[in-house]
Amino acid sequence: MAAGGPDGVLLVDKPAGITSTRALAMAKRAVGSLKAGHTGTLDPFATGLLPLVFGEATKFSRFLLDADKSYVATLRLGATSSTGDTEGEIEQRHPVTCSLPEIEAVSREMIGVSMQIPPMHSAVRVQGRRLYDLARQGLEVAREPRSIRIDFIEIVSFSGEQLVMSVKCSKGTYVRTLAETIGEKLGCGAYLTGLRRTGTGGFHVEEAATPEALAEMGPEAARARLLPVEVLVRSLPRADLAEPEAWAVRNGQTLAARVPWSGDELALFGPAGEFIGVGRIAEGRLAAARLMATGHSG
């Protein structure tokens, strides 16, 4: 274990009522680590899967930041909220007259690539300032629409004014905004009353532990839950290097790309199967893009 703590990925089940930063601080104490980060925050009212990266894993966090996300969202139909969720003020109320087939039809309209404007109550920066800081001052500024992708929406349940749905979407998708759009198309309005992230990057919330559970099990047991760093790059093609090749890459040299290697980026492994880092192929040569520190392996 490195001086600043262990290396690896920890799957945390964030409870409602705390920020992702608070959950990270609790996990760092539980594991006994100084160097750690998250791979995409959850709003305080949201719960569920929060993968955290420790030590050398922080170098490869972008692979989870860029990964698709899965959620179970609970919507309150027949009303709108100033923030799109339970944190805001209820603004309008409307009768709910839509049927399940109508909800399913609207949901199908959401599937695919579209443009979405980030909500004011979000962490997006505009001219160096977080939107939620501006919103707290009562300010509203123009936001650039962003391209998002909805892969599927499945209706889990619908009863009265409550709609529960399962969503798989691209990174950067605001489910609050999706809920508001669905409510608008149904003509009754909607806002989120619950949001649970169930999966991202091939990880599932069932594999995660709450911060409280991590604290109770003690540092040794908490560290034992760390997944190796290379799980972050398992979507990349793998390149196994012989000892001279591994030495060359670690020392800034490039290698001639060979037939089994494909794609722009590769997960690099040494002769003993140890994870070395990520390489890129350009003009027929393989060069290191991001490497594990010497002496570290997944």
Domain limits, the chain: 8-66+202-231, 69-200, 236-291
User: Which CATH superfamily does the domain covering 69-200 fall into?
Assistant: Pseudouridine synthase (3.30.2350.10)
| 92 — pLDDT class (breaks 50, 70, 90) | confident
CATH number assigned to the domain covering 236-291 = 2.30.130.10
Q: Are 47 and 196 in contact (CB under 8 A)?
A: yes
Residue 297 confidence (pLDDT): 56
Residue 112 confidence (pLDDT): 97
Q: Is the pLDDT higher at 68 or at 295? A: 68
Tokens of 110: 């959401």
Residue 143 confidence (pLDDT): 75
**Can 8-66+202-231 and 69-200 be said to share one CATH topology?**
yes
Residue 298 confidence (pLDDT): 55
Average pLDDT over residues 134-138: 68
251 vs 247: CA distance, rounded Å? 6
Please say if the pLDDT value at position 1 is more than 60. Answer: no
Residue 4 confidence (pLDDT): 57
Q: Of all residues in the chain, what percent carry a pLDDT higher than 90?
A: 74
| 43 — pLDDT class (breaks 50, 70, 90) | confident
| 128 — pLDDT class (breaks 50, 70, 90) | confident
Q: Is the pLDDT higher at 14 or at 126? A: 14
Please say if the pLDDT value at position 158 is more than 70. Answer: yes
Please say if the pLDDT value at position 231 is more than 80. Answer: yes
Residue 41 confidence (pLDDT): 86
Helices 100-110 and 175-186 cross at an angle (nearest 10°) of 130
What is the torsional sign of CA 66, 70, 72, 78? positive
| Residue whose structure tokens are 């991590």 | 214
159 vs 98: CA distance, rounded Å? 11
Return mean pLDDT, the chain: 91
Average pLDDT over residues 168-173: 94
Please say if the pLDDT value at position 133 is more than 80. Answer: no
CATH topology classification for 8-66+202-231? Pseudouridine synthase (3.30.2350)
Bridge partners, residue 36, by sequence: 54
Residue 3 confidence (pLDDT): 52
Catalytic positions are 43
